Chains A and B, each alone.
Chain A
Amino acid sequence: MSLLSILFERKELYITLRILRRNPLSVIGSIIVAIFVIMALAAVLVGDKVTPYNPYEIDLSRRLQPPSWTHLFGTDQLGRDVFSRVIIGAPIDLAIALIVVGASVVMGVAVGSIAGYYGGRFDEVLMRITDVFLAFPIVMLALAVSMALGPGIFHVIEALIVVWWPVYARTARAEAMAVKENQYIEAARASGSSNFTIVRNHIVPNIISPLLVYGTLDLGFVILYASVLSYLGLGAQPPQPEWGKMVFDGQIFLRSAWWVPIIPGLIILIVVIGFSLFGDALRDALDPRMRK
């Protein structure tokens, strides 16, 4: 049963929502995620009409103004409204997170389900390859790959996929190994299904939902790493407002105007926590042991 089918069956949906509502932390997580997604969608669909000020407009006469009712998050070193820039920066991070996690889940499921199902030499080779990836600190490998590929947001995405998929491959493999012991796999084999059919029709559908839950938890962490990469000068190029880049550009004003670097950093923190709480709650909600 996939995550989507669970969410779209009415009774299941009701149970899921009830469990989500039972825990106040998951309510907070869901609200944060909802606000972030709406913010990102609005910024993409409506552009800078959704923001109170033009996020790119430079006005040195109102530079480094502290947070107030006119400028909720203050203004930066070029007089741009930080609140507007935070909103305009949202879709980039959401897109990076969705693409990286999506691609990692696809790659992880493809490689991991085959490795887990067939076992043997292919499995052995896959495990050794993922071992190599795990020997690197994730940030450093992502930095090196994205630097090698050159500047630009797409190279950051590619670099993050490179470091992210091995964990999914390992998880998918472990799940596939558990699933393949079930009797219905044996039944499918007895009724003449080919190995490929079994993997596609029986293994993959049964391992996809734990991986998607895991992916939800990870969305926030992808945003975190993407922001570190752009903080260090890789990824979003000016004047494109990206949250990590905003922290980097603003940090020399830490002493005189703390809001310029700190507020985008806090926004990243809140979004990561939101996805984390939401993912936790989703995991609990989909866990049969919690459904009482």
Chain B
Amino acid sequence: MGLVKYVGRRLLLLVPTLFGVLLMVFVVSRVLIPNPARAWAGPRADEETVRKIGERYHLYDPVHIQFWYYVTDLLRGDWGHSPSSGQPVLKMIKTFFPATVELAMAAMAISILIGVFLGVISAANQNKPIDHGSRIFALFGVASPPFLIALLIQLIFFYHLQLFPESGGRISHTVLPPKYITGLFLVDSLVTGNWTAFWNSLNHLIMPAIALALLYFGIASRLTRASMLEAMRMDYVRMARAKGLPRRTVIYKHALRNALIPTTSVMTVMFAYMLGGSVVTETIFSWPGVGRYAATSILNLEYPAVMGVTLIFALSVILVNLLADILYVFLDPRITLR
């Protein structure tokens, strides 16, 4: 019962945030742009098209009326059209989104693995060389521009070691993509038992995922270290040590389990960063996701696409936040459902 109420309250709190997000994207895409109708119609459109587009999306109306039409258009699924290809933005986002979700989830898994591992050994060896080493490693990741890591990985693993297919994309042209179920190639090929597709897409996924994970695992490793140190000061850890349990058992069984709870909360922050980082990483690895869609749209001055991606990223972050808050309740029974 308490859980239902908690989730309900949490959903209610979403309303102002959602409204704010819509308002923000609206302001950016309609108010900040000097000539929205021209921007919406594209740089090569003639005056007639510009006027038509302007009327179609109510770009000449007063701002509050524009906002009303903006929201209703969004809800009806009309997120604007790409000026050059004429494709609806929402359709393109639907096509590209699974690729980004797959990449971000793989990168999340890798960075949590590296992050938690380094965090634990840092905490167990506090202020020893291994702790400083992992701190510097994390700093290198966080401080690296996304294109640097992606290009270095390409240079080393694709060109010099030639370990991976360098064509980019999610799957080789010679391999048939798995039957569409979730849109995540790894999941779909596993479910349908399509091993060729599975290995091929895993091969394509691994390097972009590592490139993205290396940028942000530092967030997880620093937090895990801090919460491990905190957990190791707790009475139950001293108790476990006092009754003679080996250090390893205490660290991995007692301290780590409790230290992991705060780490889940940082996952949403990492997810937001990864969506942002995907714009560059996907472009360099020719990964056909929304990030690359945004990057090419910026170069081609396709405003509706960029604004659409901005909106979908914000909505995803909000959704992941919600899921994390609910997950948190299951992980930590001490949290009272208020």
Q: Is A140 an interface residue (CB 8 A)?
A: yes
Q: How far is the CA of A233 from the CA of B295 in the complex (A)?
A: 9
User: Counting CB contacts under 8 A, is B229 at the interface?
Assistant: no
Confirm or deny: B242 has a beta carbon within 8 angstroms of a beta carbon on chain A: no
Q: Complex: how many Å from CA A128 to CA B24?
A: 13
Contact residues, A100-157 vs B (CB, 8 A): 128-129, 131-133, 135-141, 143-145, 147-150
Q: Are B143 and A273 in contact (CB under 8 A)?
A: yes
B148 and A143 within 8 A (CB): no
Give how many A residues have a beta carbon under 8 Å from the other chain's beta carbons. 45
Chain B residues with Cβ under 8 A from A145's Cβ?
28, 32
Q: Does A261 reach chain B (CB closer than 8 Å)? A: yes
Beta-carbon nearest neighbor of A251 in chain B: B151
1/0 per residue, CB under 8 A from A, across B107-143: the answer is: 0000000000000000000000000000000011011
> Which residue of A133, A144, A251, A269 contacts B143 across the interface (Cβ within 8 Å)?
A269
Q: With the chains together, A274 CA to B258 CA distance in Å?
A: 34
Query: Inside 8 A of A137's CB, which chain B residues have their CB?
Result: 272-273, 275-276, 313-314, 317
Distance in Å from the Cβ of A215 to the closest Cβ of chain B?
16
For B148, the closest partner residue in chain A by CB is: A265
A273→B34 CA distance, assembly (Å):
38
Contact size range, B: 35 or more
Once the chains bind, are A269 and B144 in contact (CB under 8 Å)?
A: yes
**Contact indicator A144/B148 (Cβ below 8 Å):** no
Contact check, B20 vs A139: say whether CB atoms are below 8 A apart. Answer: no
Q: Classify the interface of chain A: helix, strand, loop or mixed.
A: helix
**Interfacial chain A residues near B145, Cβ < 8 Å:** 224, 227-228, 231, 244, 247, 265, 268-269, 272
Known contacts A137-B313, A262-B152, A276-B143; A147 and B276 CB within 8 A of each other: no
B303 and A135: CB pair below 8 A?
A: no
B299 at the interface (CB under 8 A from A): yes
Given contacts A141-B310, A145-B32, A234-B298, contact A136 B159 (CB under 8 A): no
Complex alpha-carbon distance, A79 and B148, angstroms: 22
Say whether A60 faces chain B, with CB atoms less than 8 Å apart.
Answer: no
Whether the pair A148, B154 counts as a contact (CB closer than 8 A) is no
A269 / chain B contacts, CB cutoff of 8 Å = 140, 143-145, 148
**B28 x A144 contact (CB < 8 A):** yes
The DSSP consensus for interface residues of chain B is: helix
Chain B residues in 8 Å Cβ range of A244: 145, 147
Min CB distance B128 to A, Å, is 15
Contact check: which of B142, B147, B306, B309 meets A251 at CB < 8 Å? Answer: B147
Chain A residues with CB under 8 Å of B154's CB are 254
Q: Is A91 at the interface (CB under 8 A from chain B)?
A: no
Given contacts A132-B24, A150-B34, A244-B145, contact A232 B310 (CB under 8 A): no
CB of B20 within 8 A of CB of A129, answer yes
Question: How far is A219 from B204 in the complex, measured between Cα atoms in Å?
Answer: 35
B155 within 8 A of A: yes
| Known A254-B155, A268-B145, A268-B148; contact A140-B139, beta-carbon cutoff 8 A | no
- Best-surrounded residue of B140, B145, B318 (most CB of chain A within 10 A): B145
Q: Taking A145-B28, A145-B32, A247-B151 as given, write out 20 further A-B residue pairs in contact, using a Cβ cutoff of 8 Å, ordered by the A residue number.
A: A131-B20, A132-B24, A135-B317, A136-B272, A136-B313, A138-B273, A140-B279, A140-B313, A141-B28, A143-B294, A143-B310, A150-B34, A227-B145, A231-B145, A232-B299, A247-B148, A251-B151, A254-B155, A262-B152, A268-B148
What are 10 A-B pairs at a CB distance below 8 A? A131-B17, A132-B21, A133-B24, A135-B272, A137-B313, A141-B28, A234-B298, A265-B151, A268-B148, A276-B142
Interface residues of B (CB under 8 A from A): 16-17, 20-21, 23-25, 28-29, 32-34, 39, 139-140, 142-148, 151-152, 154-155, 159, 272-273, 275-277, 279-280, 283-284, 294-295, 298-299, 301, 303, 306-307, 309-310, 313-314, 317-318, 321
Sorted from nearest, which 9 A-B pairs have the closest CB atoms?
A137-B276, A132-B20, A265-B148, A139-B276, A272-B143, A148-B32, A144-B310, A137-B275, A148-B33
Give A residues with C-beta under 8 Å from B. Answer: 128-129, 131-133, 135-141, 143-145, 147-150, 220-221, 224, 227-228, 231-234, 244, 247-248, 251, 254-255, 258, 261-262, 265-266, 268-269, 272-273, 276-277
